[in-house]
């Protein structure tokens, strides 16, 4: 992938599927559909709640959280008042759940937030919370199945709360054969170049701390 593709500012590597509807790297199409077919045989309707996300979309998510327009959660998932935090604290609070624009693994088209569409009750809004993937949660069975079978198709959970600064995300799966080269290729200088030109809330502090943030939240993952 080019630096622009790695940071979500170009999408030449991305294609869109109609069924199930999602956007993903062209080389991830077949592995994802094979995983979905295996899940179907086990009784799940496996779909991506979130797939490819470009730089501008990630920027809007970041700015809304930084400016207090959408909720910011602490490490336990409880809402915190963004305005009560210093700028540095606000940045750290956002990063335990949401990536910097340019640093999201969703930019690569290799990563998905997976749910079982068949398990969603009518009128229910999926929130991608830990309790939904707990044994008693609506996606508890799917979570167990993915833990046992996703690796056969090249997928793994990059955020387990062990090495990465990101909190555990039981829903987030990554296609290792492409995501790992992308992670190693996303140098801090690529990220800095993307952010310097962006209207990023808190940009001065982010750029000042970028080396540290890149190491903790981008370079370090929970590799199997």
CATH number at residue 187: 3.30.1380.10
Buried b (16+ CB within 10 A) or exposed e, 121-140: eeeeebebeeebbeeebbbb
188 belongs to a structural domain: yes
Q: How many domains does the chain have?
A: 1
186 belongs to a structural domain: yes
* pTM for this predicted structure: 0.93
Identify the domain containing residue 29 by its residue range.
3-217
222 belongs to a structural domain: no
- Cis before 20? omega within 30: yes
Q: pLDDT (tens digit, 0 to 9) for every residue of the chain, 224 residues total?
A: 999 999 999 999 999 999 999 999 999 999 999 999 999 999 999 999 999 999 999 999 999 999 988 878 776 667 777 778 888 988 998 998 899 999 999 999 999 999 999 999 999 999 999 999 999 999 999 999 999 999 999 999 999 988 888 889 999 999 999 999 999 999 999 999 999 999 999 999 999 999 999 999 999 998 76
21 belongs to a structural domain: yes
187 belongs to a structural domain: yes
Q: Count of residues for the chain? A: 224
């Amino acid at each position: 992938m080019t630096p622009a593709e790695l940071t979500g500012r170009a999408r030449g590597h991305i294609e869109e599927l109609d069924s199930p509807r999602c956007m993903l790297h062209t080389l991830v199409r077949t592995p994802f559909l094979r995983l979905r077919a295996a899940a179907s045989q086990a009784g799940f309707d496996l779909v991506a709640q979130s797939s490819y996300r470009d730089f501008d979309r990630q920027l809007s998510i970041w700015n809304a959280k930084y400016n207090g327009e959408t909720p910011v959660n602490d490490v336990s998932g409880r809402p915190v008042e963004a305005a009560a935090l210093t700028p540095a604290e606000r940045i750290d609070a956002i990063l335990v759940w949401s990536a910097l624009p340019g640093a999201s693994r969703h930019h690569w088209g290799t990563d998905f937030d997976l749910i079982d569409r068949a398990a969603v009750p009518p009128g229910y809004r999926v929130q991608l919370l830990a309790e939904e993937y707990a044994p008693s949660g609506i996606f508890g069975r799917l979570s167990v199945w993915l833990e046992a079978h996703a690796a056969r198709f090249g997928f793994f959970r990059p955020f387990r709360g062990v090495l990465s600064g990101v909190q555990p995300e039981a829903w987030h799966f990554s296609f290792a054969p492409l995501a790992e080269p992308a992670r190693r290729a996303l140098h801090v200088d690529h990220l800095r170049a993307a952010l310097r030109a962006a209207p990023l809330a808190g940009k001065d502090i982010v750029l000042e701390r970028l080396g540290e943030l890149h190491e903790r939240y981008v370079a370090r993952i929970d590799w199997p």
